[in-house]
């Protein structure tokens, strides 16, 4: 129960939408969302297929708790083969779209094939149809949202769509839902656009019922909400400052990747921090932050709702950007700010708006601009490539120019839209790309937080903080404090975080709850909602099964243990300042133990015992 | 004080209750002509679908509702008024003295000038008795012709469709519900009905009804062709029951003429409901609206003014209607057809049968009509009646009229507008 | 002392916990589309506004009902729809100038807030105290009712 037990299969080549029952055996093994959809993907596509060809499939999946009153229970993930990494892509998003899809009666949608012409999928409860998208193709996510709402005349309808960047093949395009929430990473939007699928619009009025034990469920979610409310991070820090609560903290511990990860502390961090977003501006006396906003069912509400200063050069002549929209989260503030050396809060907010408007992952976009800036300062690319723009670290003007180019893939924007690895390879300097498996790093330098180095190297979707967020333990002391500069015990820590995260994702909950919740808090919520036994131990087992399944897919797709590494800059160039001064990331001292804990061979392959232990498909 | 209320529909009932509230010691009599407890015509369609039984149509559900309020309810028909001596005469010859009299005699179906309209098998759908006859004749598989696709015709469509009859609708105008809906939305209702298996002839008159034996009727259409039917329902409109009022010397026009206190040309006589030509909120002119909310509000105002020491101005009613045509909900408010020099905003979704039309004068909403809208429709009335200045929201609504609820919250609710300033 | 819902939009984060609590209490399912309290989002302004029936004294819905299916709850003062009596004619939905009585096509009846009989579930679900249940005199209800009076025809009544 809690699942709707119905999935929608959309064949874009044939133009068909067919309902089929959810595979409940798999639901028992993989729970939902991330895990369950990966099981379907593994079953249905050739791991070696072209990510942007018709043989790839794209799955939008909710979890059993999506659409319920469990705090943060509104999430969905997009699972497909990534064009950026060549491995599995799984991008998680909040907002309201996922809950609406569930409320329409669907656990997931599987898109297969490729449409001969641009289409969008319209769902109203059990009825689903592919509609002509010629009216919205070539439009931004924001315009698409507006046009579809006007067309269907339903303010309550929810839209997930791709912007112009994805249409032009930008390899890090996101799927944007509810205007400023995104399944952001790994180019899932690029895959969607490659199928000529512009948008999914959903109206669900059936609701989510089928709770196994409603009384116990309500008790356990009330207990969960209380824990979140009383926790300093989820009850105070995140509502007040958002994830940007981290900017000053991470900078102080010397783990703030700066200027394409050449440094570990950013002198301008305080100007772009969560605290800075509360400071009244000189021009109109209003702060950057208007208020916090929540995703569906979320009682933390870390979301930022912000404005750009109307006097700022980026929007001065553009009243369409004067209203409120999704503001800076820490990852965006870091990638667009510290990594490019730009400390202009309004510029970062504007660039973040554009990333939402045209659907680019701000982490990969920012990091790619950072790499381009390093190439420019090294003289590898010049004003001849940029049409005269001085693409230097710290230039807010260059950053704003870059995002406008990238959004529509014009001029140098087409180069940026390759992502940093392909960009740096194109210009003959691959070492300047700060990526793992082709995906750019997020905002924690692994020289200052050693466990994150291992988490990045082994993440199944390339460099990512959301596959195993040991920052919790190494910096914030949750569930217990470990030394960020030590490597001992980190293999086990990383594995534990990776497995628990896979389970939380697969339930349809937000990983930010784990600042306050352990699996002991989460387990009763799942167990009272879903058929079967969902003890904390079972969740760990399911989480690990998911991890192994993703790894297995990646190996079959052609990745190897050799890809479990970091750029030389992080392994060989010591941190220049802060507590980690003189340190490199000592990945080599953690990786073998990690492989052993995972049940893999020394070259990182799954052993037969491991495969059989978790019942992985052949 | 002696109050007499003629008519036991919603206006009559609400008036007696209001009189009792304001004048606990008065003598109150309500006179109804039909041999039923006071009931609601609005509920008849639901009686036809068997969703409710007859008692479900009653205006008041407690058996002793009127007795416990010391309100005399009698079944008689008023025949004349002696305005000089404040006396009312009923069909049983009885003479009643009154201090104040309320006329709330409602309306009756008009009989269209069609040869054969008085044939057996031709019925109105107006009273409970009519409904009983229709239930008898509209058996599954029977052929039914509905003359008139106005409000009454449309509201009984579903009950007929649910009874599995073969249904043909004949409407003189070029669209359905012409007094509520414009060309676009009226024709969307038509296509909706056609999708549901109903045959709809618009811009068509029934020219004659002929008995062809075996209880069958043959209806000839102005467009040529005929339709054979077991039952013909005449729903071509209603007219105020003016007869005894005008015969008694009260001023009448479309309905009984009243001033802004719902007082007739005789100072001791008031009028309310479908018979009353009261002020229209939007136009400021006096017209017969013949709708439930207006009847109730007339009754409250008229009854209040009948009680000594009370004087309440009738500021006029927004003409509005809501209709469910085989599951398609439509609504119209105020100047839905627009006003000279006004502006409008329209969204049409023919495929999904959704429609919204807003009419503005300057930056004030003066009218609206909708199809398929069931949530928060009341704010359309609220915005019209409060004459709320929409400011910058007018342009937003012209771009997307579906943002009406946001506009309402931002402009109307002081608490909210402070928060969204 | 009669109590009423007090809504402070400044505290609302738009999470819809109130809508789910309402739909669970009244419909037995998590379904925001069936909630009697609705949160409206003002995207450009960056505001969220929860909105439901104020249980106004004028009670247009109650007076407009042709079949006596809306009554005053003697304990809470709320105007309650007696579902068994409602025929679904929708007259109350156009009569209420606040738009807080809505038609539910699935049941064929209208629904509105009934304060959950005195224990409003939206209040317990709200994580930020944007919705509270307090003495009627202490709320901004009077202000909301001032606007309501502009719509009233029967001030003297």
The CA-CA-CA angle for residues A606, A607, A609, to 5°, reads 125
Split at pLDDT 50, 70, 90, the class of B393 is very high
Report the interhelical angle of A490-507 vs A519-529 (nearest 10°): 30
Question: Coil, strand, or helix at residue A20?
Answer: strand
User: Is the alpha carbon torsion for C64, C70, C72, C77 positive or negative?
Assistant: negative
Instruction: Tell whether A153 lies on the interface with B, counting CB pairs under 8 A.
Output: yes
**Per-residue pLDDT tens over the stretch C17-69:** 999 999 999 999 999 999 999 999 999 999 999 999 999 988 899 999 999 99
**Is residue A61 predicted with pLDDT exceeding 90?**
yes
Would residue B144 count as lying in a domain? Answer: yes
* Residue C156: predicted pLDDT: 31
Assign 3-state DSSP to chain A and report helix, strand, coil percentages, each to 5.
Answer: 40, 15, 45
pLDDT averaged over every residue in chain A: 97
**Is residue C153 predicted with pLDDT exceeding 60?**
no
Report DSSP letters for B256-284, one per residue. EE--TTSB-SSTTEEE-GGGEEEEBTTT-
**Is residue C2 predicted with pLDDT exceeding 90?**
no
Cβ of A291 and C47 within 8 Å? yes
All residues of chain B having their beta carbon less than 8 Å from the beta carbon of residue C91 are 42, 292-293, 322
Q: Which CATH number fits the domain that encloses residue C102?
A: 3.30.70.20
Taking alpha carbons only, the member of A252, A186, A257, A578 closest to residue A446 is A257
The number of C-beta contacts closer than 8 angstroms across A and C is 84
Asked if B6 and B102 sit in the same domain, the reply is yes
- To the nearest whole angstrom, how far is the Cα of C49 from the nearest Cα of chain A? 12
Would residue B349 count as lying in a domain? Answer: yes
**Per-residue pLDDT tens over the stretch B233-248:** 999 999 999 998 999 9
Cα separation, C26 vs C122, in Å, equals 11
Cα separation, B76 vs A550, in Å, equals 84
> Which other chains touch chain B, taking contact as 3+ CB pairs less than 8 Å apart?
A, C
**Is residue A106 predicted with pLDDT exceeding 80?**
yes
**Is residue B414 predicted with pLDDT exceeding 80?**
no
**Per-residue pLDDT tens over the stretch A568-595:** 999 999 999 999 999 999 999 999 999 9
* Residue A222: predicted pLDDT: 97
Q: Strands B231-234 and B122-124: what pairing? A: parallel
| Candidates C89, C143, C153; nearest CB to B301 | C153
Q: How far apart are the first and last CA of chain B?
A: 53
Split at pLDDT 50, 70, 90, the class of A270 is very high
Asked if B214 and B246 sit in the same domain, the reply is no
All residues of chain C having their beta carbon less than 8 Å from the beta carbon of residue B156 are none
Asked if B139 and B221 sit in the same domain, the reply is yes
Instruction: Tell whether A319 lies on the interface with B, counting CB pairs under 8 A.
Output: no
| Candidates C34, C47, C128; nearest CB to A207 | C34
Would residue B314 count as lying in a domain? Answer: no
**Is residue A515 predicted with pLDDT exceeding 90?**
yes
* Residue A6: predicted pLDDT: 97
Q: Name the interface residues of A facing C (CB cutoff 8 Å).
A: 67-69, 71, 96, 99, 103, 156, 179, 204-209, 218, 225, 229, 239, 290-299, 301, 303, 305-307, 323-325
Would residue B204 count as lying in a domain? Answer: yes
Q: Best mutation site among B63, B336, B381, B396 for testing chain C: the one with the most C CBs within 10 Å?
A: B381
Tracing tokens 């209003």 back to the chain, one arrives at: A286
Sequence-ordered list of residues with C-beta below 8 angstroms from that of B186, at least 6 positions apart, any chain: B173, B174, B175, B176, B177, B178
* Residue C143: predicted pLDDT: 53
* Residue B4: predicted pLDDT: 98
| DSSP state, residue C129 | S
- To the nearest whole angstrom, how far is the Cα of A290 from the nearest Cα of chain B? 12
Asked if B289 and B221 sit in the same domain, the reply is no
- The answer to whether the CB of B240 falls within 8 A of the CB of B274 is yes
* Residue B420: predicted pLDDT: 41
Taking alpha carbons only, the member of A126, A97, A131 closest to residue A18 is A126
| Candidates A146, A153, A155; nearest CB to B349 | A153
What's the domain count of chain C?
Answer: 2
Q: What is the mean pLDDT of residues A85-98?
A: 98
Report DSSP letters for B372-397, one per residue. S--SSTHHHHHHHHHT-B-TTHHHHH
Would residue B311 count as lying in a domain? Answer: no
Q: Which CATH number fits the domain that encloses residue B343?
A: 3.30.390.30
All residues of chain B having their beta carbon less than 8 Å from the beta carbon of residue C42 are 406, 410, 420
**Is residue A14 predicted with pLDDT exceeding 50?**
yes
pLDDT averaged over every residue in chain B: 94
- Greater confidence (B412 vs B104) lies with B104
**Is residue B256 predicted with pLDDT exceeding 50?**
yes
Asked if B170 and B224 sit in the same domain, the reply is yes
Domain extent for C7: 1-52+116-157
Asked if B339 and B415 sit in the same domain, the reply is yes
Would residue B116 count as lying in a domain? Answer: no
Asked if B332 and B349 sit in the same domain, the reply is yes
| Structure tokens that stand for A60 in this block | 């939008």
Cβ of A305 and C20 within 8 Å? no
φ and ψ at residue B364, rounded to 5 degrees = -115, 140
| DSSP state, residue A234 | I
All residues of chain B having their beta carbon less than 8 Å from the beta carbon of residue A150 are 347, 400, 402
**Is residue A508 predicted with pLDDT exceeding 80?**
yes
Asked if B278 and B369 sit in the same domain, the reply is no
- The answer to whether the CB of A368 falls within 8 A of the CB of A416 is yes
Q: Which CATH number fits the domain that encloses residue B144?
A: 3.50.50.60
All residues of chain C having their beta carbon less than 8 Å from the beta carbon of residue A205 are 31, 33-34
Asked if C106 and C147 sit in the same domain, the reply is no
Sequence-ordered list of residues with C-beta below 8 angstroms from that of A257, at least 6 positions apart, any chain: A263, A264, A334, A338, A339, A434, A441, A443, A444, A445
Asked if B225 and B244 sit in the same domain, the reply is no
| Structure tokens that stand for A593 in this block | 């133990």
**Is residue C150 predicted with pLDDT exceeding 70?**
no
Asked if C47 and C120 sit in the same domain, the reply is yes
What's the domain count of chain B?
Answer: 3
Taking residue A212's Cβ as centre, other Cβ atoms within 10 Å add up to 17
Q: Which of C95, C112, C129 is the last residue of a domain?
A: C112
* Residue B418: predicted pLDDT: 43
Assign 3-state DSSP to chain C and report helix, strand, coil percentages, each to 5.
Answer: 30, 20, 50
Would residue B136 count as lying in a domain? Answer: yes
Split at pLDDT 50, 70, 90, the class of A155 is confident
**Per-residue pLDDT tens over the stretch B324-353:** 999 999 999 999 999 999 999 999 999 889
Q: What is the mean pLDDT of residues A137-141?
A: 98
Taking residue A278's Cβ as centre, other Cβ atoms within 10 Å add up to 13
Domain extent for B219: 122-236
* Residue A1: predicted pLDDT: 57
Sequence-ordered list of residues with C-beta below 8 angstroms from that of A618, at least 6 positions apart, any chain: none
Segment among A366-375, A385-394, B58-67 with least mean pLDDT: B58-67
Would residue B48 count as lying in a domain? Answer: yes
Virtual torsion, Cα B32, B35, B38, B40, nearest 10 deg: -110
All residues of chain A having their beta carbon less than 8 Å from the beta carbon of residue C16 are 96, 294, 296-297
Asked if B146 and B199 sit in the same domain, the reply is yes
**Per-residue pLDDT tens over the stretch B357-386:** 999 999 999 999 999 999 999 999 999 999
Taking alpha carbons only, the member of A97, A286, A278 closest to residue A183 is A97
Name all domains of chain A by residue range, CATH numbers in brackets. 6-203 (3.60.9.10), 258-433 (1.10.569.10), 445-613 (1.10.599.10)
Helices (H), B307-419: 378-386, 393-399, 404-412, 414-419
Cα separation, A281 vs A291, in Å, equals 15
Asked if B202 and B281 sit in the same domain, the reply is no
Asked if C4 and C31 sit in the same domain, the reply is yes
Asked if C14 and C41 sit in the same domain, the reply is yes
Asked if B146 and B216 sit in the same domain, the reply is yes
Split at pLDDT 50, 70, 90, the class of B161 is confident
């Amino acid at each position: 129960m809690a699942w709707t037990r119905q999935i929608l299969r959309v064949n874009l080549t044939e133009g068909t939408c067919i309902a089929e029952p959810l595979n409940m055996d798999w639901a028992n093994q993989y729970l939902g969302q991330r895990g369950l959809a990966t099981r379907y993907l593994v079953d249905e596509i050739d791991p070696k297929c072209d990510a942007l060809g018709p043989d790839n499939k794209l799955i939008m999946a909710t979890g059993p708790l999506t659409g319920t009153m469990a705090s943060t229970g509104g999430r969905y993930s997009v699972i497909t083969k990534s064009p950026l990494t060549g491995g599995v892509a799984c991008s998680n998003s909040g907002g309201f779209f996922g809950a609406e899809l569930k409320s329409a009666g669907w656990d997931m949608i599987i898109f297969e094939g490729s449409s001969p012409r641009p289409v969008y999928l319209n769902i109203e409860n059990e009825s689903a149809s592919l509609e002509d998208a010629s009216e919205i193709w070539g439009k931004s996510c924001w315009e698409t949202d507006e046009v579809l709402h006007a067309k269907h005349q339903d303010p309550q309808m929810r839209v997930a769509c791709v912007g112009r960047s994805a249409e032009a093949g930008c390899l890090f395009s996101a799927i944007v839902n509810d205007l400023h929430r995104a399944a952001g990473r790994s180019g899932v939007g690029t895959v969607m656009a490659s199928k000529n699928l512009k948008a999914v619009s959903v109206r669900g009025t059936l609701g989510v019922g089928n709770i196994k034990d409603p009384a116990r469920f309500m008790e356990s979610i009330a207990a969960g909400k209380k824990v979140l409310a009383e926790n300093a991070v989820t009850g105070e820090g995140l509502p007040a400052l958002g994830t940007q609560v981290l900017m000053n903290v991470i900078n102080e511990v010397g783990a703030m990747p700066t200027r394409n990860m050449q440094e570990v502390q950013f002198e301008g961090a305080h100007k772009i921090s969560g605290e800075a977003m509360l400071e009244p501006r000189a021009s109109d006396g209003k702060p950057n932050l208007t208020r916090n906003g929540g995703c569906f069912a979320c009682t933390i509400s870390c979301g930022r709702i912000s404005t750009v200063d109307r006097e700022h050069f980026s929007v001065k002549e553009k009243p369409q950007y004067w209203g409120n929209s999704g503001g800076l989260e820490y990852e965006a503030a870091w990638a667009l700010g510290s990594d490019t050396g730009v400390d202009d809060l309004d510029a970062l907010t504007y660039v973040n708006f554009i990333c939402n408007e045209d659907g680019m992952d701000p982490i990969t976009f920012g990091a790619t601009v950072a790499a381009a800036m390093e190439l420019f300062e090294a003289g590898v690319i010049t004003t001849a490539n940029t049409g005269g723009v001085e693409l230097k670290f710290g230039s807010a003007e260059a950053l704003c120019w870059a995002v406008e180019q990238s959004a529509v893939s014009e001029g140098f924007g087409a180069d940026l839209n390759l992502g940093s690895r392909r960009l740096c390879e194109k210009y003959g300097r691959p070492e300047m790309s700060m990526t793992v498996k082709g995906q750019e790093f997020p905002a924690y330098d692994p020289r200052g937080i050693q466990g994150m180095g291992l988490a990045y190297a082994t993440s199944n979707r390339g460099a990512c903080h959301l596959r195993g967020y040991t920052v919790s333990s190494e910096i914030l002391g949750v569930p217990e404090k470990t030394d960020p500069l030590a490597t001992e015990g980190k293999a086990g820590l990383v594995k534990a975080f990776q497995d628990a995260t896979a389970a939380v994702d697969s339930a349809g909950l937000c990983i930010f709850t784990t600042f306050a919740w352990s699996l002991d808090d989460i387990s009763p919520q799942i167990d009272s909602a879903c058929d079967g036994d969902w003890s904390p131990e079972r969740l760990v087992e399911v989480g690990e099964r998911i991890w192994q399944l993703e790894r297995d897919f990646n190996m079959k797709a052609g990745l190897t243990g050799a890809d479990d590494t970091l750029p030389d800059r992080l392994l060989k160039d010591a941190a220049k300042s802060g507590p980690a001064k003189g340190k490199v990331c000592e990945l080599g001292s953690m990786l073998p133990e990690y492989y052993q804990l995972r049940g893999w061979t020394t070259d990182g392959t799954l052993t037969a015992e491991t495969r059989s232990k978790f019942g992985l498909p052949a | 004080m002696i109050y007499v209320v003629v008519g036991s529909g919603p206006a009559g009932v609400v008036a007696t209750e209001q009189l009792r509230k304001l004048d606990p010691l008065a003598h109150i009599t309500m006179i109804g002509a039909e041999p039923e407890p006071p009931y609601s015509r609005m509920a008849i369609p639901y009686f036809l679908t068997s969703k409710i039984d007859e008692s479900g149509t009653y205006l008041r559900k407690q058996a002793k509702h009127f007795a416990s309020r010391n309100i005399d309810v009698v079944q008689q028909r008023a025949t004349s008024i002696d305005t000089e001596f404040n006396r009312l005469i009923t069909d049983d010859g009885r003479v009643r003295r009154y201090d104040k009299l309320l006329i709330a005699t409602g309306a009756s179906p008009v009989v269209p000038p069609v040869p054969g309209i008085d044939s057996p098998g031709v019925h109105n759908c107006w009273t409970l008795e009519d409904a009983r006859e229709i239930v008898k004749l509209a058996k599954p598989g029977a052929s039914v012709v509905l003359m008139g696709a106005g409000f009454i015709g449309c509201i009984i469509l579903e009950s007929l469709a649910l009874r599995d009859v073969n249904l043909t609708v004949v409407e003189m105008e070029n669209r359905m519900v012409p007094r509520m809906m414009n060309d676009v939305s009226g024709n969307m209702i038509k296509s909706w009905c056609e999708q549901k298996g109903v045959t709809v002839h618009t811009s068509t008159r029934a020219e004659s009804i002929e008995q062809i034996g075996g209880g069958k009727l043959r209806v000839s259409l102005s467009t040529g062709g005929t339709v054979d039917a077991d039952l013909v329902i005449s729903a071509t409109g209603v007219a105020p029951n003016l007869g005894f009022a005008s015969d008694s010397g009260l001023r009448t026009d479309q309905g009984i003429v009243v001033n802004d206190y719902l007082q007739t040309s005789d100072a001791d006589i008031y009028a309310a409901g479908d018979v009353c030509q009261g002020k229209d909120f939007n136009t400021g002119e006096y017209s017969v609206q013949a709708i439930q909310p207006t009847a109730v509000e007339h009754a409250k105002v008229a009854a209040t003014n009948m009680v000594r020491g009370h004087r309440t101005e009738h500021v006029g009613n927004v003409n509005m209607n809501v209709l469910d045509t085989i599951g398609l909900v439509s609504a119209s408010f105020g100047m839905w057809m627009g006003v000279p020099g006004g502006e409008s905003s329209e969204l049409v979704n023919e495929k999904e049968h959704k429609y919204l039309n807003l009419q503005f004068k300057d930056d004030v909403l003066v009218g609206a009509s909708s199809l398929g809208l069931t949530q928060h429709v009341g704010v359309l009335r609220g915005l019209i009646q409060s004459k709320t200045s929409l400011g910058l929201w007018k342009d937003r609504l012209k771009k997307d009229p579906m943002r009406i609820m946001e506009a309402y919250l931002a402009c109307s609710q002081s608490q909210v507008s402070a928060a969204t300033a | 002392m009669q109590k009423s819902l007090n809504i402070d939009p400044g505290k609302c984060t738009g999470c819809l916990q109130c809508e789910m609590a309402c739909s669970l209490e009244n419909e037995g399912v998590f379904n925001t589309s069936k909630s009697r309290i609705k949160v409206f989002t003002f995207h450009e302004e960056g505001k969220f506004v929860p909105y439901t029936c104020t249980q106004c004294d004028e009670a247009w819905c109650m007076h407009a009902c042709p079949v006596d299916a809306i009554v005053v709850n003697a304990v809470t003062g709320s105007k309650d729809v007696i579902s068994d009596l409602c025929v679904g004619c929708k007259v109350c939905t156009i009569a209420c100038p606040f738009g807080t009585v809505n038609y539910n096509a699935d049941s064929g009846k209208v629904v509105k807030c009934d304060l959950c009989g005195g224990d409003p579930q939206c209040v317990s679900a709200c994580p930020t105290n944007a919705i509270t249940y307090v003495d009627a005199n202490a709320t901004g209800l009077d202000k909301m009712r001032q606007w309501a009076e502009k719509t009233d025809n029967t001030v003297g009544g």
